[in-house]
Amino acid sequence: MAKRTVKPKTFFQRIKTWFPTTANTISIFALIVSAILAIYTYKVFKIADAQSNSVIRSANAAIDAATTAKNTLDETKRYNKEYMELQRREYTSGNADAAKRNLRDSLGLDAQIRSLKQAHEIFVKENQPYLQIDNFENLGLGDNMPMSFIYSIYNLGNQPIKILTIDQKFVFIEKKDSISFLRNPFQSLNNPKDVVDYLPRERSGERTYVSEDKMTVAHFHAFLRHSLTIYFVGRYTYLNYITNQKRNYTFLLKAWLDPANRDEKLIFLISNNQDK
């Protein structure tokens, strides 16, 4: 077999064809650079895209947080409004209930006060002293003689009394003047005498009255003819220990001549106890 021989010229021509031309070289280099730039650009885009997504996620999270905060604020406002309204209603209702309770308490207190006042008034009335004279005896009427008689004074109350003054006397009134006299018989009393005398409860004391002036013959005969009326007026002033107030006991008696036995007697016309 014949040995194949390669010519140098041919060999170098083949090698030459292996290397690109300058234009091809530039094109290849540009292609490589473009590829590298494309890869770099892709990576940068990926990074930017990731960052953009992160920013978007952060923005969305911020929006969600803001929305949640707004909803929470609105809910808080609504709760506060409802709570304040509830508090206002409870306060108003509480005040109304308190006012009602105060009114009931006030009415109850007023009722208790009225009850105490009524009980006090009843106690005062039941225990106030009450004087009464009775048992007129030994009426002495005669011409040119002092007039006198004996009587008893009773304390009919539940408390003792202190007698302060006594004013009493006989009065001669013509029959024609009796009506005017009886309109105010106690105006003739003008000489009260101070006394210090105590009268226990439900006890009596005997008194003897003797007039300072003598009965004239003319008065005595006028009395026997019924043309003259003889009255005995009196006033006791005493102290009510329950109220520490003064009271007056006034009484009016009329001398009466029994025509059957010509006996003189005294009969009651007025007997009254009252605060002074």
Closest CA to 238 of 198, 209, 187, 268: 198
Q: What is the pTM of this model?
A: 0.57
Residue 163 has a pLDDT of 94
Residue 173 has a pLDDT of 93
Q: Are 257 and 263 in contact (CB under 8 A)?
A: yes
Q: pLDDT digit of tens for each residue in the chain (276 aa)?
A: 444 554 554 544 554 454 455 545 555 655 666 666 667 666 655 665 665 565 566 556 556 656 665 666 666 666 556 655 655 565 555 566 666 666 566 556 777 788 888 888 887 777 788 899 988 888 888 888 899 989 999 998 888 889 999 999 999 999 888 888 999 999 989 999 999 888 888 778 888 999 988 888 898 888 888 888 999 999 999 998 888 899 999 999 998 877 666 677 888 899 999 988
| Distance between CA atoms of residues 68 and 64, nearest Å | 6
For the chain, state the CA radius of gyration: 67
Residue 120 has a pLDDT of 80
- Structural fold of domain 131-275: Immunoglobulin-like (2.60.40)
Residue 19 has a pLDDT of 47
Residue 10 has a pLDDT of 56
Alpha carbon 222 to chain centroid distance? 69
| Boundaries of every domain in the chain | 6-127, 131-275
Residue 232 has a pLDDT of 94
